[in-house]
Amino acid sequence: LKDVFSYFFLLCFRMSSMSALFQLSMWIRHCHGYLTENVGIPVWGSYAVFALATLFSGLILGLVSGALETDWLV
């Protein structure tokens, strides 16, 4: 009975993760629509904004994980 519970727990975690990714996708789609329709940024400009946001968030996450790995913050 314990094995069945752990299987369903993992399945629930996977489905929750997929749901979070889908919600993130819909939020990005909404932001793209807002930038192109309401603000008036061209489509390529919206893509450039998301590309820069991806690069900067990766840079920040990399710096934070490197700092935590080497105990630089402490």
User: What secondary structure, in 3-state letters, does 39-57 show?
Assistant: HCCCHHHHHHHHHHHHHHH
Question: Alpha-carbon torsion 64, 68, 69, 74, what sign?
Answer: positive
Residues sharing a CB contact under 8 Å with residue 66, sequence separation 6 or more, in sequence order = 72
pLDDT at residue number 74: 55
Residue 37, pLDDT score: 96
**What is the biggest distance separating any 2 CA atoms in the chain, rounded to whole angstroms?**
57
User: What pTM, to 2 d.p., does this model score?
Assistant: 0.68
- The full set of domain ranges for the chain reads 1-39, 42-73
Cβ–Cβ under 8 Å, residues 26 and 36? no
Give the pLDDT confidence of 11-58 residue by residue, as tens digits: 677 788 888 999 999 999 999 999 999 999 999 999 999 999 999 999
Q: Band the pLDDT of 69: cuts 50, 70, 90.
A: confident
